[in-house]
Structure 1
């Protein structure tokens, strides 16, 4: 019984880690998209100024 419980616990931990990694990568991708968007806006503004 104890082994089964330990297995279930480790499975839960691995699942939580996986979702945490997915969440981090998602926020990172959103941040990259935001940075790209801002840089494009700045370039467009510079071109408009010229």
Structure 2
């Protein structure tokens, strides 16, 4: 693999929850949100280019 660790918080109803590193979870979530925004802006830019032609 690529050396990427899964950072997934456990479900709230689990009896013995494994506590993940929430700081890494927060940082990774920020990156996922950033890529989502980039994809949304790319859709808008592509749509504008199509309407200009």
Would the TM-score normalized by the shorter structure come out above 0.5?
Answer: yes
Runs of 4+ in 1 over 2 A off after TM superposition: none
**Relative contact order higher in (CA < 8 Å, ≥ 6 apart):** 2
Q: TM-score, normalised by structure 2?
A: 0.61
Aligned length: 35
Give unmatched runs, 5+ long, in structure 1: 41-50
Q: TM-score, normalised by structure 1?
A: 0.65
Is the helix fraction higher in 1 or 2? 1
RMSD across aligned positions (CA) = 1.4
